[in-house]
């Protein structure tokens, strides 16, 4: 039985004292949290830096100080120093300041300009003219509005074919019927085009399904090849114990106010050809890159706590700021706990899936961590999870039975910390490959240190051309949107970049828990099976992909170390072509990413992230301010470390920022050399696509040549045959047969 105190902890930032008060359920937790360094330091770039590449980037993060019930260290820093030295703190009110100060900065994906009036495509204009004619013919005073993401994306200059129509005085089904009849009348029937499509399809009715977040009946149909959804404007009322609202007809303002964020509460009024910003913040927030709720966030999140995760999703997608009131609201235990009590784990998993597929999963990890949402994401408060019996591999004195492992608060915090550390390191590895044109960056620290907060906010682009088979596949696809890897199973199970990104960051989520087991009837499978399928709601295919990546990354780690010791230090045996080929054959086109996971495993072991965050030459998450009042706030600019690392720091007294363990450059250079040698070996041996080579003999031929009967021996001989073939790439079947016969004597 897992016993976890809720909340894990609260962090109260006292701006007048410039330090933290840590509040928790036990004194033990308080002491532990005080000793835990902050993993997520503030995002900022020195505005006085001589680095022209950084100065030329518009989207730099300024600093801000704010008073909040939770410290969002990943997204906040201290307020810029005022030019007026006499300015008092009392005059520096931050009650409405977003956690990323917009002064002299822009968000990475803040649109250069807002497009007004909207530029419609020919199909959109044709549709909207049709609606106007429908109103005239039927003597309607109905106002037709396009709602939600279509308006947001149009304003940002992006295409969006998801057109949701909201009606002010009738249901969607009623209006859709009139539009359908109008098209039939004008065309003289359901016209069939040359491509087999009709100008208008039949009307489909999607019944309200609150469990799937479909709160209203929706009419849907295709007109001129464009799918349209019709609903009425609504007002929502929520009960205390459900995220399912009671729906009534409402005004446009009611409808806008009940939406999640102001940027999603914009309307395009088809009747007047204008954009309506009824919350009075939607357009300005879009311009400034701020995520804000139309109502008080406490109300918005209490009504539907899942919107907390949606806030992270949109902030990660666009690198937008979270308004301070959102941070305050999420710090309220009842609001955060509402995700568990009101939202199914299926819905949580769906939102997480979307976050991991976006371009900035590392930003997602940072926000989840500092908003203390990992317990919700992993579902550890779920009643079924609480019943799990977990093992860490230790057995009783007789060595027969596993001993139950009861994770405490320290364990969970350490594992959640590792998740974020692994994620940041994976982004760092990919960046290093990217600036090296997808070749391995072996020019040591100079290449690896060219990384800063702006680069991370730019997103985590997967380096995909490190394998000939992958490169050829992508090259043959149109518009560069080809397959970047084949996952577990058949070759047709292709992974696009966003799917691969999700698989890799699911692997990151599994890494800290890979050694744990749990009781499942009379078996003890790995806990990651339960976490991925039941908590994170990953697919079975994704679970298999994660298992392959974990297995092969461990094998790569071992072989890289063995090869390094043999080549550089003349210790131990050398690796063989077959040793690496078997790993490549298991991973197939996922092998470069298994190597990425192996690399971040090693970087964690040598405290590899500290060179990113503590090297004086790197403008990454450092404090720009010289304000003497900020001297006590160094804790916000340091790394979190795991409990094991804290033990190894040998700190005397308080565990403050000055004692952050620095990376051993010798170990780091050994790490670089180790993986350089392994990549060179794979390239020199020409085995990067070894799994595509056909075996010299299949099972039937092998049995015939060696006069074997069906049984376990066949598998053993097939393994021997593959090893011989891998080690003898120019060998022929007769030579292999002779080897197998001699080895079987």
pLDDT tens-place string over residues 603-627: 888 765 544 443 333 333 333 233 3
Place of tokens 């940041």: 424
Task: Using the predicted structure, report yes or no on whether residue 512 has a pLDDT greater than 60.
Answer: yes
Helix (H, G, I), strand (E, B) or coil at 231: strand
CATH for 122-288 is 3.30.460.10
Nearest alpha carbon to residue 4 among 513, 532, 511, 413:
413
Residue-wise pLDDT for 519-552, tens only, equals 999 899 999 999 999 999 999 999 999 999 999 9
Q: Where in the chain is the domain with CATH 3.30.460.10?
A: 122-288
Q: How far is CA 353 from the centre of its chain?
A: 7
Separation of alpha carbons 118 and 274, rounded Å:
8
pLDDT in the model for residue 57: 24
pLDDT in the model for residue 82: 35
Nearest alpha carbon to residue 247 among 232, 234, 259, 264:
234
pLDDT in the model for residue 246: 65
Q: How far is CA 591 from CA 134, 552, 605, 678, 687, in A?
A: 58, 8, 21, 12, 11
Report helix, strand and coil shares of the chain as percent, to nearest 5. 50, 10, 40
Nearest alpha carbon to residue 547 among 589, 495, 587, 606:
587
Q: How far is CA 611 from CA 1, 44, 314, 623, 740, in A?
A: 39, 17, 30, 16, 51
Q: Tell me the range of 12-21, 28-37, 329-338, 510-519 where mean pLDDT is highest.
A: 510-519
pLDDT in the model for residue 111: 62
Residue 158 tokens read as 């992006």
Q: Which CATH number is correct for 10-110+290-378, 1.10.110.30, 3.40.630.30, 1.10.3720.10, 3.40.50.720?
A: 1.10.110.30
Longest dimension (CA), the chain: 95
Residue 447: pLDDT band (50, 70, 90) is low
> Three-state secondary structure along 611-645?
HHHHCCCCCCCCCCCCCHHHHHHHHHHCCCCCHHH
| Helix intervals (H) in 685-711 | 699-706
The residue among 662 and 602 whose pLDDT is bigger is 602
pLDDT in the model for residue 459: 85
Give kind and range of the element (H or E) at residue 391.
strand 390-395
pLDDT in the model for residue 209: 55
Task: Report which DSSP code applies to 659.
Answer: G
pLDDT in the model for residue 662: 53
Q: How far is CA 49 from CA 46, 54, 55, 56, 104, in A?
A: 5, 8, 7, 11, 16
* Mean per-residue pLDDT, 572-582: 94
Residue 56: pLDDT band (50, 70, 90) is very low
Residue 247: pLDDT band (50, 70, 90) is low
Residues in the chain, overall count: 745
Cβ atoms 462, 472 nearer than 8 A: no
pLDDT in the model for residue 159: 86
The proportion of the chain whose per-residue pLDDT surpasses 70, expressed as a percent, equals 68
**Least confident window among 142-151, 179-188, 558-567, 572-581:** 179-188
Residue 302 tokens read as 């209490």
pLDDT in the model for residue 341: 85
Nearest alpha carbon to residue 183 among 134, 113, 255, 245:
134
Task: Report which DSSP code applies to 276.
Answer: E
pLDDT in the model for residue 518: 95
pLDDT in the model for residue 599: 93
Contacts of 208 (CB under 8 A, 6+ apart): 214, 215, 216, 217, 247
Beta bridge partners of 518: 390
Task: Using the predicted structure, report yes or no on whether residue 22 has a pLDDT greater than 90.
Answer: no
Place of tokens 């999640």: 260
Cβ atoms 73, 417 nearer than 8 A: no
Long-range contacts of 148-152 (CB under 8 A, 24+ apart): 148/259, 148/264, 148/266, 149/264, 150/268, 151/118, 151/266, 151/267, 151/268, 151/275, 152/263, 152/264, 152/266, 152/286
* Mean per-residue pLDDT, 73-92: 34
Q: Where in the chain is the domain with CATH 1.10.110.30?
A: 10-110+290-378
Nearest alpha carbon to residue 362 among 650, 39, 33:
39
Separation of alpha carbons 119 and 250, rounded Å:
29
Cβ atoms 731, 696 nearer than 8 A: yes
pLDDT in the model for residue 189: 63
What single string gives the DSSP state of each residue in 280-302? S-HHHHHHHTEE--SS-HHHHHH
Task: State how beta strands 290-291 and 321-322 pair.
Answer: parallel
Total-model pTM: 0.77
Residue 663: pLDDT band (50, 70, 90) is low
pLDDT in the model for residue 249: 79
Cβ atoms 212, 218 nearer than 8 A: no
| Phi, psi angles (nearest 5°) of residue 393 | 95, -15
Cβ atoms 110, 287 nearer than 8 A: yes
Give kind and range of the element (H or E) at residue 726.
helix 712-727
Task: Using the predicted structure, report yes or no on whether residue 29 has a pLDDT greater than 50.
Answer: no
Separation of alpha carbons 427 and 618, rounded Å:
16
Q: What is the mean pLDDT of the chain?
A: 75
Nearest alpha carbon to residue 501 among 531, 550, 464, 455:
464
Give kind and range of the element (H or E) at residue 135.
helix 122-137
Rg (CA), the chain: 29
Residue 107: pLDDT band (50, 70, 90) is very low
Q: How far is CA 691 from CA 122, 382, 686, 722, in A?
A: 49, 42, 12, 11
């Amino acid at each position: 039985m897992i016993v976890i105190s809720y909340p894990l902890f609260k962090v109260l930032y006292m701006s007048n004292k410039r330090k933290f008060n840590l509040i928790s359920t036990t004194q033990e937790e308080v002491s532990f949290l005080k000793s835990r360094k902050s993993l997520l330091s503030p995002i900022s770039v020195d505005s006085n830096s001589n680095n022209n590449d950084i100065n030329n980037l518009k989207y730099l993060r300024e600093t801000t100080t704010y008073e909040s019930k939770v410290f969002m260290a990943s997204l906040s820093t201290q307020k810029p120093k005022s030019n007026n030295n006499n300015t008092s703190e009392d005059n520096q009110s931050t009650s409405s300041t977003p956690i990323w100060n917009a002064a002299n900065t822009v968000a990475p994906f803040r649109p250069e300009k807002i497009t007004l009036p909207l530029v419609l495509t020919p199909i959109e204009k044709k549709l909207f003219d049709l609606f106007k004619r429908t109103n005239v013919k039927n003597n309607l005073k109905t106002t037709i509005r396009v709602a939600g993401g279509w308006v947001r994306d149009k304003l940002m200059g992006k295409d969006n074919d998801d057109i949701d129509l909201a009606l002010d005085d009738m249901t969607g089904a009623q209006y859709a019927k009139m539009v359908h009849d109008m098209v039939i009348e004008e065309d003289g029937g359901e016209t069939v085009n040359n491509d087999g499509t009709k100008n208008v399809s039949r009307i489909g009715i999607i019944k309200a399904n609150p469990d799937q977040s479909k709160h209203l009946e929706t009419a849907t149909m295709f007109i001129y090849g464009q799918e349209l959804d019709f609903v009425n404007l609504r007002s929502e009322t929520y009960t205390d114990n459900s995220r399912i609202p009671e729906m009534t007809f409402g005004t446009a303002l009611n409808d806008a106010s009940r939406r999640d964020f102001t940027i999603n509460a914009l309307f395009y009024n088809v009747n007047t050809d204008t954009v309506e910003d009824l919350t009075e913040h939607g357009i300005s927030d879009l311009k400034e890159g701020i995520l804000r709720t139309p109502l008080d966030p406490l109300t918005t999140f209490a009504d539907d706590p899942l919107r907390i995760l949606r806030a992270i999703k949109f902030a990660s997608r666009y690198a937008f700021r979270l308004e301070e009131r959102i941070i305050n609201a999420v710090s309220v235990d009842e609001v955060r706990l509402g995700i568990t009590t009101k939202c199914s784990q299926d819905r949580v998993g769906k939102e997480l899936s979307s976050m991991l597929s976006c371009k900035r999963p590392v930003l997602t990890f940072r926000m989840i961590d500092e908003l203390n949402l990992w317990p919700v994401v992993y579902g550890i408060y779920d009643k079924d999870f609480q019943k799990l019996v977990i093992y860490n591999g230790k057995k009783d004195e007789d060595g027969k039975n596993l001993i139950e492992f009861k994770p405490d608060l320290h364990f969970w915090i350490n594992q959640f910390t590792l998740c974020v550390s692994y994620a940041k390191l994976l982004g760092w590895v990919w960046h290093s490959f990217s600036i090296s044109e997808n070749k391995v960056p072996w020019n040591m620290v100079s290449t690896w240190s060219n990384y800063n907060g702006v680069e991370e906010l730019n997103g985590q682009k997967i380096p995909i051309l490190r394998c000939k088979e992958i490169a050829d596949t992508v090259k043959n696809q149109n518009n560069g949107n080809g397959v970047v890897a084949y996952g577990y199973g058949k070759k047709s199970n292709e992974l696009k970049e966003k799917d691969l990104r999700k698989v890799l960051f699911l692997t990151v989520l599994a890494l800290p828990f890979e050694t744990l087991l749990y009781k499942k009837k009379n078996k003890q499978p790995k806990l990651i099976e339960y976490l991925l399928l039941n908590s994170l709601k990953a697919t079975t295919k994704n679970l298999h992909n994660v298992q392959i990546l974990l297995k092969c990354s461990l094998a790569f780690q071992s072989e890289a170390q063995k090869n390094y010791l043999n080549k550089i230090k003349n210790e131990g045996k050398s690796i063989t072509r077959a040793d690496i080929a078997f790993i490549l054959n298991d991973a197939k086109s996922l092998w470069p990413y298994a190597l990425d996971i192996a690399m971040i495993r090693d970087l964690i072991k040598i405290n590899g992230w500290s060179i990113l965050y503590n090297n004086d030459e790197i403008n990454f998450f450092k404090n720009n301010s010289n304000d003497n009042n900020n001297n006590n706030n160094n804790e916000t600019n340091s790394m979190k470390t795991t409990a094991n690392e804290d033990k190894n720091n040998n700190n005397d007294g308080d565990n403050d920022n000055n004692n952050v363990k620095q990376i051993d450059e010798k170990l780091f250079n050994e790490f670089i050399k180790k993986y350089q040698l392994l990549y060179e070996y794979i390239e020199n041996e020409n085995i990067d696509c070894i799994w595509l080579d056909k075996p010299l003999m299949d099972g039937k031929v092998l049995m015939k040549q060696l006069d074997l009967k069906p049984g376990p021996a066949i598998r053993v001989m097939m393994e021997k045959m593959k090893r011989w073939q891998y080690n003898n790439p120019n060998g022929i079947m007769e030579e292999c047969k002779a080897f197998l016969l001699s080895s079987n004597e």
